[in-house]
Amino acid sequence: MINGRSEMSIIRMFHVYRYYGKKKALIDINLDVYKNEVLFLSGPSGAGKTTLLKLLYLGESVSEGQVIVDGINLSRISFKRIPALRRKFGIIFQDYKLIRTKTVFENVALVLEAAGRKSRLLEKKVNSVLRIVGMEDKRDLFPPSLSGGEQQRVAVARAVVGDPKIILADEPTGSLDSESAGIVFDLLKRFHTRGATVIIATHDKHLITQAGARVVYLNNGYLQTHTNI
């Protein structure tokens, strides 16, 4: 798997398998993701997209194979360094995963607090990110009182607030109307131009053709790396 672009890869996967009991969710995955690219991970639901993303931030671990993220071999990482690994990522979860007992502001600020940022800069930073996603005036509301699209935008804000190296977006436009989906995608592109690597798992063909970025295709746990579908 050694090729000329390896030093430009921020993520490398070698012969990765993931089983759930007898079910093979991922089979012999080999993938390089390059620094500062936008990569679409497409495929029908149940293909293994979410599972592949989880392997990157150790939400799950591989059954076989190797994953390297930003020079770190995940099979050798110590328990103590997992939080630091996760802070390299900004993750937009398929189900948002907002804390329902904390306000919009607190949900976003949590990332910075966990990273040990100073609280005076923190408030400014969180407010500016909330302004970008258009949720500034709802900063003191709790997630259950927000619409799906609004929760999605809070999730985006939380994913980008810590200036992560890699942004993972799992069906970021999944439950949104096309207008909101456009807004979310524009936001992701905006953070991409600031230097982040962006991986978007989606089955939204419209979004993919519109974007004109590299696409890999997952089907039944197998990965196909052709550029157009």
Partner 1 sequence: MIIFFRRAVQDILRNKILNVITVITIALSIIIIGSFAIFIINTNDILDSWKQCARIMVYLRPDISKNEIPGIKQKIIGIYGVKSARFIAKDEALSLLRNKMKRQAAILDNLRKNPLPDAFEIEMTPSCTDKRKIESIVTMIESLPFVDDLEYGQKWIGQFADIMRLFRLAGFAVGGLFFIASVFIVANTMRLVLYSRREEVEIMRLVGATERFIKIPFFIEGIIQGILGGITGVVVLYIAFVFISSNLSQGILTGFLSLRFFHFKVLCSIILCSMFVGWLGCFLSFINFKKI
Ligand X SMILES: Nc1ncnc2c1ncn2[C@@H]1O[C@H](COP(=O)(O)OP(=O)(O)O)[C@@H](O)[C@H]1O
Q: Which residues bind ligand X (CB under 6 A)?
A: 20, 23, 25, 43, 45-51
197/202 with CB nearer ligand X? 202
Q: Map the footprint of partner 1 across residues 38-57, applying CB under 8 A.
A: 57
42/152 with CB nearer partner 1? 152
Q: State which of residues 7, 21, 79, 120 lies at the interface with partner 1 (CB under 8 A).
A: 79
Please choose which of Mg ion, partner 1, ligand X, none residue 125 contacts, taking the beta carbon within 5 to 8 angstroms, the exact cut-off set by kind.
none
What's the residue count for the chain?
229
Q: State which of residues 45, 78, 119, 228 lies at the interface with partner 1 (CB under 8 A).
A: 119
Which residue in 61, 11, 57 sits closest to 216, CA to CA?
11
Q: Which residues pair with 41 in a beta bridge?
A: 201, 216
CB of 47 to partner 1, least distance (A): 22
CB of 224 to partner 1, least distance (A): 29
99/229 with CB nearer partner 1? 99
The tokens for 87 are: 């802070």
Which residue in 2, 71, 52 sits closest to 217, CA to CA?
52
CB of 32 to ligand X, least distance (A): 20
57/191 with CB nearer partner 1? 57
Taking the C-alpha atoms of residue 21 and residue 18, their distance in angstroms, rounded to an integer, is 9
The tokens for 56 are: 């990157």
Binding-residue pattern over the window 138 to 167 for partner 1, x denoting contact by CB under 8 A: --------------------x---x-----
**Positions that interact with partner 1 (CB under 8 A):** 57-59, 79, 82-87, 89, 91, 93, 97-102, 110-111, 113-115, 119, 158, 162
